[in-house]
Amino acid sequence: MENVIEVKQLVKSFGNKTAIKNVSFNIKKGETFGFLGPSGSGKTTTIKILTSQLKATAGEINVFGKSLNHLKDPSYMKKIGILTDNSGLYDRLTIYDNLSFFCRLYDVNEKKIDEVLESVNLLKERNTVVQKLSKGMKQRVTLARAILHTPELLFLDEPTSALDPVNTKQIHEGLKKLNERGTTIFLTTHDMQEAEELCDRVAFLNQGEIQQLDTPQNLRLKYSDSTITLLLKGNRTVIVQKDEAGAETIYQHMKNNEVISIHSNEPTLGDIFVQLTGRALT
């Protein structure tokens, strides 16, 4: 499958501090790719480099098959959407006027504004000035702006960090729809549930290095332990090994009609991250 992003041996130093050490990864067309790591691990730095807001110290980056150095042109900007913390919204303008300004800049029909506002749950607030909005609302306006032109490639830096669970869920549904319609998504998060929910593959970033890169399912399998838990009638729990003796035990309990549930003990992405790095994600 075609790669939308190719990053080879990326390094970024700030003075004598190296924030990104030697990072390589590819993102396929249509994928939702997650960069997962705790605060300070280099997520924002990576997104800023990929969106030409920061210059890499070393390494090779291709986006849409072209070197990043050639991508300053407006046709590239029209193909990508960016949500980072530096929102760039006009505080004195209404939500609608902010988005309308963006429409003119990017040749988008203004009819699209209300549709996108609906998807981020802000239609009722369309005529409110931005400076009156909460942090979470501003985050949703920034997201609306990032997806207004239906970008081919969307960069999201912790898109739901300021949101409550209800809005987070709605944003997740919106991002899934966008992805189903073909938008490739590069997302950073320290929220492992968000990554499980949205990402086809995740990279675990720790102190500027990728420590694992795979599908959430493969990672869970790789780090699952070798036991199975049976819940039996009478509120009894039995843990067996995934071997012949374990199979025999499960068989006997099933034969005696005692089994309520059986599940293998798979870790969450958060558990795996802690196991690998000794650090929690949040």
**Could you list the residues that contact Mg ion (CB under 5 A)?**
43-44
Interface with ligand ADP includes 39 (CB under 6 A)?
A: yes
Q: What share of the chain is helix, strand, coil (3-state, %, to 5)?
A: 40, 30, 30
- Those residues whose C-beta lies under 8 Å from the C-beta of residue 67, and which sit 6 or more positions away, are 60, 61
Q: Is 45 in the site for ligand ADP (CB under 6 A)?
A: yes
Residue 138's closest CA among 119, 156, 163? 163
Our finding on whether 216 is near ligand ADP (CB under 6 A) is: no
Residue 89 in 3-state DSSP?
coil
| CA gap 218, 201 in Å, rounded | 9
Of 44 and 98, the one with the shorter C-beta distance to Mg ion is: 44
Q: Is 206 in the site for ligand ADP (CB under 6 A)?
A: no
Nearer to ligand ADP, 43 or 253 (CB): 43
Phi, psi of 216 (to 5 degrees): -55, -40
- Stretch in the footprint of ligand ADP (CB under 6 A) among 39-47, 96-104, 121-129, 251-259: 39-47
Question: Which option in Mg ion, ligand ADP, none does residue 220 bind, with CB closer than 5 to 8 A by kind?
Answer: none
CA–CA distance, 1 with 5 (Å, rounded to integer): 12
Contact 133, 162 (CB under 8 A): no
The answer to whether 145 contacts ligand ADP (rule: CB under 6 A) is no
Residue 263 · residue 228 · CB < 8 Å: yes
* Candidate list 25, 36, 37, 185; residue touching ligand ADP; CB under 6 A: 37
Name the minimum Å distance from CB 55 to ligand ADP: 12
The residue whose Cβ lies closest to Mg ion is 44
Which of these segments, 33-41, 105-113, 145-153, 192-200, binds ligand ADP (CB under 6 A)? 33-41
| Amino acid at residue number 139 | Q
For residues 47 and 169, give the distance between their C-alpha atoms in angstroms, rounded to a whole number: 23
According to the binding rule CB under 6 A, does residue 19 interact with ligand ADP? yes
Q: Is 182 in the site for ligand ADP (CB under 6 A)?
A: no
CB of 48: closest distance to ligand ADP in angstroms? Answer: 8
| Spatial separation of the C-alpha atoms in residues 140 and 239, rounded to whole Å | 45
Q: How far is CA 10 from CA 62, 208, 213, in A?
A: 11, 10, 16
End-to-end CA distance of the chain: 34
What is the nearest approach in angstroms of ligand ADP to the Cβ of residue 141? 21
- Interaction of residue 27 with ligand ADP, rule CB under 6 A: no
Q: Which is nearer to ligand ADP, 43 or 149 (CB)?
A: 43
Binding segment (CB under 6 A) for ligand ADP, from list 32-40, 102-110, 164-172, 274-282: 32-40
Q: For binding to ligand ADP (CB under 6 A), which residues are involved?
A: 14, 17, 19, 37, 39-45
